[in-house]
Amino acid sequence: MEIEILNERENLLLNRREIKFRVHFDSGIPKFQEIRKSIISKLKLNEKLTVMNGLKTEFGRKYADCYVKVYKDEESLKVEPKFRIKKNFEVETKKEEKEKEEKPESVKEKEEAKEEKKEKVEHEKEGEKTESKKEEEKAKEGEKKDKGNQNKK
């Protein structure tokens, strides 16, 4: 991934630096966070004060145009909408939480979970057998009653 800076300007009113750049890539568009981290490392920016606005690509092109805002302090950063701040900063923490939830602590837990599933299936099958036996017994009792009524006539 190669980065080419197209335009850089200072916005004194909002107390930030605005950078337009182009990311050249070989195959597939890089992920949002990958591009953000690469521009931060290339320009040696403060990660907590850098907000990437988005990226724009065109069909068949091997590049994407991006827009980054670098604030001078956290107070100035409050101008940004909440959704954009979430997209830039909270994505990493959500991924880490999901990975922790998905991974069991040990192999033993996996085996125990499998055994529990097997036991549930066996209990369900046994329950079906006992229900079918009860139905058969009722049917036999019904037949006996019918035969007894026929003999009386």
**Contact (Cβ atoms closer than 8 angstroms) between residue 77 and residue 102:** no
Task: Specify which residues 67 forms β-bridges with.
Answer: 20, 54
Q: Which two tokens stand for residue 72?
A: 């001078």
Tracing tokens 């139905």 back to the chain, one arrives at 135
State how far the Cα of 138 lies from the Cα of 34, in Å rounded to an integer: 69
From first to last of the 153 residues of the chain, give the pLDDT tens digit.
899 999 999 999 999 999 999 999 998 888 989 999 999 999 999 999 999 998 899 998 999 999 999 999 999 999 999 999 998 887 655 566 666 666 555 666 777 777 777 777 777 666 665 666 667 777 777 666 666 556 555
State how far the Cα of 39 lies from the Cα of 43, in Å rounded to an integer: 6
* Fold of the 2-102 domain: Alpha-Beta Plaits (3.30.70)
**Taking the model in full, what pTM does it have?**
0.57
